[in-house]
């Protein structure tokens, strides 16, 4: 069971030495086993079987669609980084490395209406994830969204 410790949420981590009996563990079978190598799907099934045998209750959950989040997250990072560097960018832009300077410049191009839409999307996705997690203590999922990521 100690191999589970690095992946446990902090609140659950302190309780794991007491065992997993009664722990409500969320699992989205589609997200966890579709479009993955057979050995990954088999490993997920083995983990769930072991947790169940140890007394955990595996609860079916459905991961929300997060397909739009990647680009939105990056744009929000650019805008937020720009805000943090407002005292030195763009006045000292030459002192920034080319990659980070390009990110900050991208943040400058994001319009207020786009920022509002991105913020709304972040709020909606956050709320759907929180709702999915309410009936469980933790979530078991594979590390990568695809087998070859």
State the average pLDDT over residues 26-32. Answer: 91
**C-alpha dihedral over 89, 93, 95, 100, to 10 degrees?**
80
CA–chain centroid gap for 142, Å, is 11
**What are 49-59's pLDDT values in tens digits?**
999 999 999 99
**What are 55-89's pLDDT values in tens digits?**
999 999 999 988 888 889 999 999 999 999 999 99
- CA-to-CA distance for 8 and 23, rounded, in angstroms? 12
Q: What is the pTM of this model?
A: 0.72
Between the alpha carbon of residue 139 and those of residues 39, 94, 120, the distances in Å are 20, 45, 25
Binned at pLDDT 50, 70 and 90, residue 26 comes out as very high
Question: Is residue 147 domain-resident?
Answer: no
Question: Is residue 117 domain-resident?
Answer: yes
Does residue 9 have a pLDDT over 50? no
Question: Is residue 38 domain-resident?
Answer: yes
Does residue 109 have a pLDDT over 90? yes
3-state secondary structure of 89: coil
Residue 74: predicted pLDDT: 94
Host domain of residue 120 = 69-127
Binned at pLDDT 50, 70 and 90, residue 41 comes out as confident
Same domain, 26 and 77: no
Same domain, 61 and 95: no
Residue pair 32/143 in contact by the 8 Å Cβ criterion: no
For the chain, what percent of residues have pLDDT higher than 70?
A: 85
Query: DSSP label at 135?
Result: T
Same domain, 76 and 115: yes
Mean pLDDT estimate for the chain: 86
Residue pair 27/140 in contact by the 8 Å Cβ criterion: yes
Residue pair 140/40 in contact by the 8 Å Cβ criterion: no
């Amino acid at each position: 069971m100690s191999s589970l410790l690095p992946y446990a949420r902090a609140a659950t981590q302190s309780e794991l030495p007491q065992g997993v009996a009664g722990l409500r563990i969320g699992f989205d079978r589609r997200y966890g086993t579709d479009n993955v190598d057979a050995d990954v799907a088999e490993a997920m099934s083995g983990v769930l079987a072991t947790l169940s045998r140890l007394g955990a209750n595996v609860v079916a959950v459905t991961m929300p669609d997060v397909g739009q989040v990647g680009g939105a997250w990056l744009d929000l990072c650019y805008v937020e980084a720009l805000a943090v560097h407002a005292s030195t960018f763009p006045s000292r832009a030459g002192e920034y490395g080319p990659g980070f300077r390009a990110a900050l410049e991208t943040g400058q191009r994001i319009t207020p209406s786009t920022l509002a839409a991105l913020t709304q999307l972040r709020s909606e996705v956050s709320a759907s994830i929180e709702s999915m997690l309410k009936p469980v203590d933790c979530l078991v999922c594979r590390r990568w969204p695809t087998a070859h990521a």
